[in-house]
Amino acid sequence: MTESIGTLLSGSWKTFTTFKNPIFIASAVFGLVLFGMQYALAEKTIGSMEKQFGNIQQMQELTERIEAGDQEAFQEMMMKMGMVGDDGEINEEALEDAAAGLIGKTLPMFGLFFLTMMVLTLISSTFYFVLAIEGSQDFMATLSKVPSLIFPMLGVWIWSFLRSFAWIPVLGIIPAIIIGPRLIMSSVILVQEKKGVFECVSLSYARSKGYWGKIVGNSIVSALVVMLAMIVISIGVGAVSMVSEMGGAIAGAIFQSATTAYATIFIVKLSNTISANPFAVVVKK
């Protein structure tokens, strides 16, 4: 019999606390990298906006005046941005050019940020999968096993995505809802059994037969638990932010990484209990 949701949640928490030291180190490392990326993006975005529109603080003050109903503030803002013509009317062409210029400058930055975020998510998730499966207290020993799994893990993610969502343009979202949850075991099989990319996804689909409801139901409950924890912790993060805005942002990034660790541990335990209790006999190739 598969483990209940309560057992899975408590077991995941027990594993989380058992390996709290490597998890804390990893959360701090990945969280600080995440904060650094967010900070760099914010600084570059502000710099681009100041070059395009002038001093950001003055713009914020004008925005507050506009929100308060000051009719002259909008005209002042347009003048500072160079959007008002000689006749005193708003130059729509200049406004469109400014918007296009800002998008042209910030879009590459957001693209780079998104790509870097994907790489960071891939690395951190792979680390937590290795930690949850192999259970080492040595942070560096666990981290050393990540590089060899990066590209296979990326392949599993891409193939799982294609298997689930490539059908949407043809058949709609229903196949994705049916197939997607049944591929949740793919990453676990990769790390645990060292199978190939396509075999990991195929085995996940085969082994999860009859367990779609358990996977979806348990995943929803675990997500709600994590969300509740995030709400509680966010209160503490908010208190830190009142003292130091940067400190609050760093604490938030570290906590975000820690929740990824718990979610990964839960996926591993859910996958293991399903694998140990096959609904149907899986023929090994």
pLDDT in tens, 229-245: 878 777 766 666 666 66
Question: CA–CA distance from 156 to each of 138, 181, 195, 266 (Å)?
Answer: 26, 14, 10, 19
Q: Answer whether residue 112 shows pLDDT above 80.
A: no
What's the token pair of residue 178? 């049916």
Specify the pTM: 0.77
Amino acid 283: pLDDT: 45
Q: What is the pLDDT of residue 221?
A: 94
Quickly state the pLDDT bin for 282 (edges 50, 70, 90). Answer: very low
Q: Which residues contact 91 (CB under 8 A, 6 or more apart)?
A: 83, 84, 85
Q: Residue 164: pLDDT above 50?
A: yes
Helix (H, G, I), strand (E, B) or coil at 144: coil
Is the pLDDT at 58 greater than 90? The verdict is: no
Question: Where do we find the tokens 């023929």?
Answer: 283
Report the C-alpha gap between 241 and 252 in whole angstroms.
10
